[in-house]
Amino acid sequence: MLFESEKSKFETLVKAYSPELYRYAYWRCRDRFVAEDLVQETFTRAWQAWEKLRDEKAAKSWLYTILRNEHARLYEGKRIEVDEAQELDEIVDTSNPGAYESFEMSDMLKALPPGYREPLVLQVLGGFSCAEIASMMNISEGAVMTRLTRARLALRKMPGPVTARRMKAR
């Protein structure tokens, strides 16, 4: 009976968080097939470590952390180092604001260096606070705030969706 009850809780968790985890996985690897594999592996690991989940309220951040670790284990050869100034300069040419007119928001998100994209996705998609993101990413809260600020500043340099502008022009 106890097993059945735990199994039922696990199934509820799978149904509740699969879509959100898939989206997080997608923004980590930008490959739909790999993203689905990551979600599968995340829940397999979660079930194996089920006893470790003491507080059900923490399930969401627990699952995100498992997925993050799985991605690192399976697909990252090394830890991503973030050069906080240079990498954004490489993708946003401030001298030519029109250079990114063809980029839609999703393209710009894809173009962001992973170290900047990840806290943004965790905040926008997962609704996590800066402190929670800091804990997940093993960096300071201040570093999270800096990355979020710089990521948004980089995205704001984009003039606007091409499609929207075309619609206006008509």
Partner 1 sequence: MNCFEFRRRILANPREKTREQEQHVSECAACANLAKEMENFEARIHDAVLVPVPEALAERVLLRHKIRSPGRLGVWAIAASLMVALAVVIQLYRGAADDENRVVAAAVLGDNHPAVAAISYVLDHEPQLLKEGRSGDPAVMRSALTRLGLALPANGITVRYLGKCPVVGGTGEHVVLQTPFGHVTLILVPDQMFAPRVVVADRTMTAVASPTRTGGSYILVSDSLTSVRQIEKMLM
What is the closest distance, in whole angstroms, from the C-beta atom of residue 96 to partner 1 in the complex? 21
Q: Which of 76, 77, 9 is nearest to 43 (CA)?
A: 9
The whole-angstrom separation of Cα 56 and Cα 11 is 13
What x/- string results for residues 36 through 75 when contact with partner 1 is judged by CB under 8 A? xx-xx--xx--x----------------------------
- The CA-CA-CA angle for residues 17, 109, 45, to 5°, reads 30
Which residue's structure tokens are 């799978």? 14
> Which residues between 131 and 150 bind partner 1 (CB under 8 A)?
144-146, 148-149
Residue from the set 1, 3, 77, 98 that interacts with partner 1 by CB under 8 A: 3
- Check residue 156 for interaction with partner 1 (CB under 8 A): yes
| Backbone φ and ψ of 149, nearest 5° | -60, -45
- Residue 120, interface with partner 1 (CB under 8 A)? yes
Binding of residue 14 to partner 1 (CB under 8 A): yes
Q: Exactly one of 109, 134, 136, 143 binds partner 1 (CB under 8 A); which one?
A: 109
Q: Are 97 and 158 in contact (CB under 8 A)?
A: no
Distances in Å between the Cα of 41 and the Cα atoms of 23, 44, 117, 132 are: 15, 5, 22, 23
How near is the Cβ of 131 to partner 1 at its closest, in Å?
11
Among 72, 91, 99, 104, binds partner 1 (CB under 8 A): 104
Return the SS3 of 5.
helix
CB 155 within 8 A of CB 112: yes
Q: Which residues bind partner 1 (CB under 8 A)?
A: 3, 7, 10-11, 14-15, 18-19, 22-23, 26-27, 32-33, 36-37, 39-40, 43-44, 47, 104-106, 109, 120-121, 123-125, 127, 129-130, 144-146, 148-149, 152-153, 155-156, 161
